A = this chain, B = another copy of it.
Amino acid sequence: MAGRSRRHGDQLVKDIRDQAQSPEEFEARLRAIGAARYHDRHPFHARLHGGDCTPDEVRAWVINRWMYQSRIPMKDAAFMSRVTDPDLRRAWRKRIEDHDGGPTEGGGIRRWLALARAVGLDPDYVASGVGIMPATRFAVDAYVRFVRDMPLLDAVAASLTELFAPRIHAQRIEGLLQHYDFADDSSLSYFKKRLTEAPEDVKFGLGYVLTHADTLEKQDAAAAALTFKTDVLWAQLDALWHGYVEGKIPPGAWKPGEGMAA
């Protein structure tokens, strides 16, 4: 009986595995989510990269995007706090190092503050987070909580928006350099650095997701996680557009003129 039962179980596992998409199909499904929903399709980015943003719209973007930048290392630490495999922690730690940098130099968040300075803002004001829109906070906090609470596979899948990031960063560097006086190698160093950092991260993350999502149920969950993450990014730009392009700034959010460099 035990033998028959095990054979029955093996058959069930095989049936479940057989329902899964092939790695190629599944990767194509993930990439289609990016093609349809990644925030390079948001009108704010067309406006920004096309040179149509006012200086204050650029500043509002820099201030609010700080919320996302500043939470990325916390998100990655939340992930690592749940990882029992030392090798996975060791591989993931690079992301925190990339964003936080060393005790006194380097790191994505310092490069973001250099951009803040270049657009005329006081970096200390931006770093304080005081002027961030509540909708931005909610979206980014939702992402950090997602990574802290959901299965590791879903958390890694959510990070796969990085698959689509190099394209937007390349467009951004080109568009900003062409259209805005503040743009130069120094102020845009954040994006230039991400051009090399992100592909390395995403190669690891994509390999992890393709390997670990070995049933259709897990593939559905991973696809949902990536969709969720595109929502997190999109919602930030919707809030930005409503507040600063349409001029409906919510209570407590940055007002033009505040937080400028001395």
Residues of A within 8 A of B (CB): 70, 73-75, 77-84, 86-87, 89-91, 93, 96-97, 100-103, 107, 109, 129, 144, 148
What is the bound-complex CA distance between A97 and B109, given in angstroms? 20
Which one of B78, B81, B86, B102 lies within 8 Å of A100 (CB-CB)? B86
**Given B70, B74, B90, B101, which contacts A103 in the complex, CB threshold below 8 Å?**
B90
Chain B residues, Cβ within 8 Å of A97 = 93
**Chain B residue with the shortest CB-CB distance to A93:** B96
Please tell me if the beta carbons of A80 and B93 are within 8 angstroms of each other in the complex.
no
Which 8 residue pairs are nearest across A and B when measured between Cβ atoms?
Answer: A77-B80, A78-B81, A77-B81, A77-B77, A74-B81, A90-B103, A90-B100, A89-B100
Q: Told that A73-B89, A93-B96, A93-B100 touch, could you supply 5 new A-B pairs with CB distance under 8 A?
A: A74-B82, A77-B81, A87-B103, A89-B100, A93-B97
Report 27 cross-chain contacts, Cβ distance below 8 Å, ordered by A residue.
A70-B86, A73-B80, A73-B86, A74-B80, A74-B82, A74-B84, A75-B81, A77-B79, A77-B81, A77-B89, A78-B78, A80-B81, A80-B96, A81-B81, A81-B148, A84-B129, A86-B100, A86-B107, A86-B109, A89-B96, A89-B100, A90-B100, A90-B102, A90-B103, A93-B93, A93-B96, A93-B100
Residue in A75, A86, A87, A148 with the greatest tally of chain B CB atoms within 10 Å: A86
A78 to B82, CA, bound (A): 8
| Residues of B with C-beta under 8 A to A73 | 80, 86, 89
Residues of B within 8 A of A70 (CB): 84, 86
